[in-house]
């Protein structure tokens, strides 16, 4: 569960780093804290079943998430 939250946090951070999609949306349309807390990323990556796993973007995202969720990495996000 702790890893899932870290993965979800990392994915959200990545999304914010590359710019929010629909940044012009009203704040009433933003996800609530409880909705964000329900995000579950499976460790085996099966949540990404519709992504082409050979694509550079998928590999980069997966490597990033693995890096920032690894406690021994200098890029670790607690």
Taking CA atoms, 27 is separated from 16, 19, 55, in Å, by 15, 16, 33
Q: Is residue 42 predicted with pLDDT exceeding 80?
A: no
How would you classify residue 55: left for phi > 0, otherwise alpha for psi between -120 and 50, otherwise beta? Answer: beta
- Rounded average pLDDT over 70-75: 95
Separation of CA 41 from chain center: 8
Residue scoring higher pLDDT (27 or 51): 51
Tokens of 57: 């973007």
Q: Which residue, among 74, 71, 9, has the nearest Cα to 40 in the 3D structure?
A: 9
């Amino acid at each position: 569960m702790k890893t899932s939250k870290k993965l979800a946090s990392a994915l959200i951070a990545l999304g914010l780093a590359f710019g929010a999609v629909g940044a012009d949306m009203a704040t009433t349309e933003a996800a609530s804290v409880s909705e964000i807390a329900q995000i579950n990323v499976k460790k085996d990556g099966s949540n990404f079943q519709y992504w082409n796993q050979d694509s550079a973007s998928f590999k980069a995202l997966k490597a990033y998430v693995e890096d920032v969720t690894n406690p021994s990495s200098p890029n670790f996000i607690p």
